Amino acid sequence: MDITQSSLDQFLTESKPYTNNGKLASYIPELLKANQDALGIYIIDVNGKEMYAGDIETRFTIQSVSKVVTLIYALEAYGDEVFTRIGVEQTADAFNSIIKLETRNNGKPLNPLINAGAIATTSFIVEKEGKNGFDNLSNFLRKLAKNDSIDVNQSVYESEQRTGDTNRALAYFQKGQRTFSASVDDVLEAYFKTCSHEVQVKDLANIARVIANNGFDPDTGVRYFSERNARMTKAIMSTCGMYDSSGEFALMVGIPSKSGVGGGIMSVVPGEYGIGIIGPALDEKGNSAAGVALLSKLSQEYGLSIFR
């Protein structure tokens, strides 16, 4: 059944109070400037039909949603060699946890969608492409989003650099374990900048739509990545995309998704929809509180779970 505008409006209204259940991310001070009450959703079906509701003009930094793009870029450019540096297992730890780098996998992060894992994937790109790595990744992101004007929010980037000591610890530990050899400063510059791309919900919906179409953009006839890489990305999103609530999210929503501390969620309904959501108030795991509520209503009403 096609999603109707009236139900989208209704679910948005019903989910709005959940913005009060969350808090803005404060560990990157610049993110405290966001509007805690905002909630918006943009849906594009695989054929290009668009629907939206709520605060779709809100600008926010992509944050960890970018980890999906980094993964696809690396897989497409370098194939399974990427998995010499990262695993594909859930951690059940916070997104910025360091503990399993020491206790599991010999310094190799458990998956590419936690901070340690995205830093490792970024190190791989930086080693292969040097300073051009970030620009190539950034251009890939713009292409998938069909938006040439996406750029890095400089204040958020600088805020991340100033306060990113946990990420520095994750990077130095990995370098100490010989997981990568690139300069930590170069890797983190690319990683922080990637997280600081400023987007709107439509951009996330466009990226998700290409993934829903298994890497193919029907508008331009361009294949951006292989079906195999699309399949692996959706699998990793569904097992690891919502951090240490990925399991509960799979039960309640069942849509491959990735969240970010800017309040964005990007969701892929395979073969059907690309979805972008913004709701900057985060639950205790770092996922958009109202965004998860909204996705849960949508999924349950329209049977969007991939586990149906």
Catalytic-role residue among 15, 64, 267, 299: 64
Q: Does residue number 63 form part of the binding site for ligand DON (CB under 6 A)?
A: yes
Across the strands, what pairs with 53? 41
Asked if residues 109 and 86 have their Cβ atoms less than 8 Å apart, the reply is: yes
Using the rule CB under 6 A, give the single segment among 11-19, 33-41, 172-180, 255-263 that binds ligand DON: 255-263
Alpha helices by DSSP H, listed for the chain, are 5-15, 66-78, 99-103, 115-129, 132-145, 154-163, 165-176, 184-195, 201-212, 227-240, 246-252, 289-302
Q: How far is the CB of 70 from ligand DON (least distance, A)?
A: 12
**Residue 99 carries which side chain, given as an amino acid letter?**
I
Ranges within 104-133 binding ligand DON (CB under 6 A): 115
The DSSP line for 229-245 is: HHHHHHHHHHHHTTGGG
Query: Is residue 64 flagged as an active site residue?
Result: yes
Ranges within 136-195 binding ligand DON (CB under 6 A): 160, 167, 195
Distances (CA, A) of 43 to 69, 73, 144, 199: 19, 23, 15, 15
Q: How far is the CB of 63 from ligand DON (least distance, A)?
A: 3
Q: Does residue number 19 form part of the binding site for ligand DON (CB under 6 A)?
A: no
Query: Is residue 26 flagged as an active site residue?
Result: no
Query: Is residue 243 flagged as an active site residue?
Result: yes
Nearer to ligand DON, 15 or 257 (CB): 257
Asked if residues 139 and 194 have their Cβ atoms less than 8 Å apart, the reply is: no
Give the one residue of 150, 286, 289, 290 binding ligand DON; rule: CB under 6 A: 286
Catalytic-role residue among 18, 65, 67, 258: 67
Asked if residues 109 and 97 have their Cβ atoms less than 8 Å apart, the reply is: no
CA end-to-end distance (rounded Å), the chain: 14
Query: Is residue 52 flagged as an active site residue?
Result: no
Q: Does residue number 96 form part of the binding site for ligand DON (CB under 6 A)?
A: yes
Q: How far is the CB of 189 from ligand DON (least distance, A)?
A: 12
**Helices then strands, each counted (H, E), the chain:** 12, 10
Q: How far is the CB of 166 from ligand DON (least distance, A)?
A: 7
Catalytic-role residue among 253, 261, 268, 269: 261
Q: What is the largest CA-CA distance in the chain?
A: 54
Number of residues binding to ligand DON, judged by CB under 6 A: 12
Using the rule CB under 6 A, give the single segment among 8-16, 40-48, 103-111, 257-265 that binds ligand DON: 257-265
Q: Does residue number 70 form part of the binding site for ligand DON (CB under 6 A)?
A: no
Cβ-proximal residues to 168 (8 Å cutoff; 6+ apart), any chain: 184, 188
Using the rule CB under 6 A, give the single segment among 45-53, 78-86, 129-137, 256-264 that binds ligand DON: 256-264
DSSP 3-state of 52: strand
- Rounded distance between C-alpha atoms, residue 236 and residue 232, angstroms: 6
Nearer to ligand DON, 64 or 213 (CB): 64
Return residues touching ligand DON (CB under 6 A): 63-64, 95-96, 115, 160, 167, 195, 259-261, 286
Query: Which residues are annotated as catalytic?
Result: 64, 67, 191, 243, 261
